[in-house]
Copies of this chain bind each other. A is one copy, B any other.
């Protein structure tokens, strides 16, 4: 099964074959994102995807078990990107201790921009609209970890009540959703993020709100 030049799987440095395989997988996923942005999430066809990376559709099965497996890889990658975005925003919080209203506003913009910059990704990650797709345990784990990171963010502002966190997530996804659905490419709800954040702060953390402005 394993050629002499291959390193054992549990070693940190992957074999050259493994490395190339990974790269090809990444290429395929990248091409899938492009296609999906053009023809919609459900419109992904393996024929087109194969063509986009210069191989026949059947050859994709050397890299992925099924079409659902491809969606899962996209889901996984999407949540890694989401986690990275949260990390960046987390760094902003730590830079500004104790965190004030301006940081929460930037967090709101960060989430909003992440979502609206790629509506199809938003659809895959946050909505349950693609039929019969259930993320694998591993991918789901990344998703759960992201959410926990998110609640940690809120805790940094002293907001630990789960119901308050739910109001905050509802507010953020609502702004995002309206932007994507009713003003795609525009900024109608982007313009309203700051005052929505202040509305939230006024109700749940009024002491963080600078009353001078």
Contacts and interface: CB of A to CB of B under 8 A. Distances in A.
Contacts of A32: none
- Range of interface residues on A (Cβ < 8 Å): 35 or more
A180 B129 CA distance: 11
Contacts of A188: 166
Contacts of A181: 126-128
* Interface majority SS (helix, strand, loop, mixed), chain A: helix
Contacts of A198: 203
A178 B173 contact: yes
Nearest to A41: B129
A8 to B, nearest CB: 41
Interface of A: 39-43, 123, 126-129, 131, 163, 166-167, 169-175, 177-178, 180-181, 184, 188-189, 191-192, 195-196, 198-200, 202-204
